[in-house]
Amino acid sequence: MSNELNQDLVVGLDVGGTRTRAVLAVAGDGRPLGEGVAGPGNALTVPVPQLTEHLAEAVGRAVPEGARGRVVAVAGGFAGATGASPDEPGRLNALAALTAALGGLGIATETVGIHSDIEAAFASAPGVPADGLALVAGTGAVAARIAERRCAATVDGDGWLLGDDGSGFWIGRSAVRAALRMADGRGRPTALAATVGRALGLPEEVLPSEAEVLPSEADVLPSEAEVLPYEGVLRYEGAPPYEDVLPDEKGGAASENWSRARREAFRMYLLPAVMAQPPIRLARLAPLVAEAAQREDAVAGAILDEAADQLMETIRALEPRPGERIVATGGLLGPDGPLTAPLTGRLQALGLTLDGVADGCRGAVALARLEHGGGGR
C-alpha cells in the first residue's frame, strides 16, 4: 500500500442526499485504495459550512495524511448540482465547499471537477459512456439526457417540496399519508399505520394491531379490479362515486376495533413526530413500504406501483429512443430495489433496459482521471 500511495492519486466523490462517499484511487489505472463516508451533501439543501464539514470528513478518511500531497485530481458528483451551467447555484455551492474542504486537508490539487450526481452515476457504467440516459432514484429522483458526459436535459430532481416524484422521500411521505387516512377514516386498512407509527416512536397503545388492519369483506376489491390512485384514496374501475365511498365511524377504512379515541391519539402523536424532523427524513420509511408490499399489503403495493409510474413518466419526458442506454442507480433501483422489477417491465414496452450501477463513486473516479488526462477507463 505504501508504494501505491507514492503514485499520482485521484479522489472521486459521490455526494447524495443521504451520505457523502469519497474514494481514493490510483490515477493511472483507477485502482481503489481507500474510502471515507460522511453525512448528506445535497448542494442545494445542505448549508455550505455543513457541506464543507461532510466533504472534509469523507475525504480525510479516504486519503491518509501522508498521501495528500500526491492527489492530482478530485471530481465529485453532487446531488443538487443538476444544472448544466457552471454558474448554477448547486454547482457554485459544491465548488465552494469542496475547495474549502480540500484546502483544510492540505490537498492542493489544481484539478477540481464539479458534476451532478447523475453525471457521475452515468460515468460509472462500464466503458465510461459519453452519451445516453441516466436515472437516479434514491432519497430523491432525477433523470437526464447525457451528452459528452454532461447533462444536456434534466427532468425532475426538483427536491422534496416541488418534485422528486417516485423517490424514497415520495414513497415515505405516501406511507405517512396512508397511515393518516386510515386513522381519520378516509383510507383503506394498511399495515403501514402500525409500522410507520412504530418507526416514528409512537406509543404502542395507540397503534392498530394486525387484526385491526385486516380489511373486511366489504373493503376487499374484486380480484379483477384495477387499483388506481385518486388523491391518495385507492379506487377501482366501476367504483361508486367518490363521495359514496367515504367511510363513516361505523365501518369502512378503519376497523371498528381501532377505536376513534385511539385513532385520534395516533394522529395527535404522529403529526408532531413528523414535523419535528427534516422533511427529507421521510425517505427512511420507504423500506417499510417495500416490506409491506412483499406481505401483499394492497395500499403499500399501490404506492410502489405509482412510484414506478412516476419514474416512467420522468423517463418519457426525455423522449427515449428504442434501444437507448439507461444507466440507473439509487437505493430504489439496485439489484434488490423495490422499483427495479416494476420499472424494468414498464421500460421493456418501450424497447429500453436498465443498466444498473452501484453508485457514482466509480464514475467520479473515472471523471477525475479523465480531467487529469488518465483516460478514465
For 99, the grid coordinates are: 475547495
User: Do 37 and 333 form a contact (C-beta atoms < 8 A)?
Assistant: no
Torsion angle (degrees, nearest 10) of CA 167, 171, 172, 178: 160
Computed on alpha carbons and rounded to an integer, the radius of gyration of the chain in Å comes to: 23
Residue 146 burial (CB < 10 Å; 0-12/13-18/19+)? Answer: buried
Per-residue pLDDT of the chain (377 residues; tens, 9 = 90+): 566 777 999 999 999 888 999 999 999 999 999 999 999 999 998 999 999 999 999 999 999 999 999 999 999 999 888 776 778 899 999 999 999 999 999 999 989 999 998 999 999 999 888 999 999 999 899 999 999 999 999 999 888 999 999 999 999 999 999 999 999 999 999 999 999 999 999 999 999 987 667 654 444 443 333 333 323 333 333 333 333 333 333 334 455 679 999 999 999 999 999 999 999 999 999 999 999 999 999 999 999 999 999 999 999 999 999 988 899 999 999 888 999 999 999 999 889 988 899 889 999 999 999 998 855 55
Please give the model's pTM, rounded to 2 decimal places: 0.79
In this predicted model, what pLDDT tens digit does every residue of 92-126 receive, in sequence order? Answer: 999 999 999 999 999 999 899 999 989 999 999 99
Beta-carbon contacts of 160 under 8 Å, excluding residues fewer than 6 positions away, are: 140, 169, 173, 279, 280, 282
